[in-house]
Structure 1
Amino acid sequence: MSRRFKSIIKSERPVLVDFYADWCEPCKQIPPILKKVKNNFKESVRIIKVNVDNNPFIASHYQVRSIPTLILFKKGDVQWTGVGIVDASELSSEISKHVNKQA
Structure 2
Amino acid sequence: MSKFGELISAKVPVLIDFYTDWNESSVAMHEVIRDVAAALGDKAKVIKIDVDKNQELADALRIKGLPTLMVYKDGQMVWRKSGELDANSLITIVQELLV
TM interval, short-chain normalised:
over 0.9
What does residue 78 of structure 1 align with?
77
Quick one: which amino acid aligns to residue 31 of structure 1? H
Mapped partners of 2:86, 2:23: distance in 1:
18
User: How much does 1:71 deviate?
Assistant: 0.5
- CA-based RMSD of the aligned residues comes to 1.1
Quick one: which amino acid aligns to residue 52 of structure 1? V
User: How much does 1:17 deviate?
Assistant: 0.8
Mapped partners of 1:42, 1:31: distance in 2:
17
What does residue 59 of structure 2 align with?
60
What per-residue deviation string (whole Å, max 9, x for no partner) do you get for residues 41-95 of structure 1? 1101111111111111211222211110110111111111121111111111110
What does residue 25 of structure 2 align with?
26
Quick one: which amino acid aligns to residue 32 of structure 2? I
Matches within 5 A, 1:11-22: 11-22=10-21
Say which is worse superposed, 63-72 or 53-62, in terms of deviation: 53-62
TM-score, normalised by the number of residues in structure 2: 0.92
* 2:37 paired with 1:38: yes
Secondary structure in structure 1 of the residue aligned to 2:29:
helix
Mapped partners of 2:74, 2:25: distance in 1:
29
- Structure 1: unaligned runs, 5 residues or longer: none
User: How much does 1:16 deviate?
Assistant: 0.8
Quick one: which amino acid aligns to residue 24 of structure 1? N
Mapped partners of 2:69, 2:51: distance in 1:
12
Moved over 2 A (4+): none
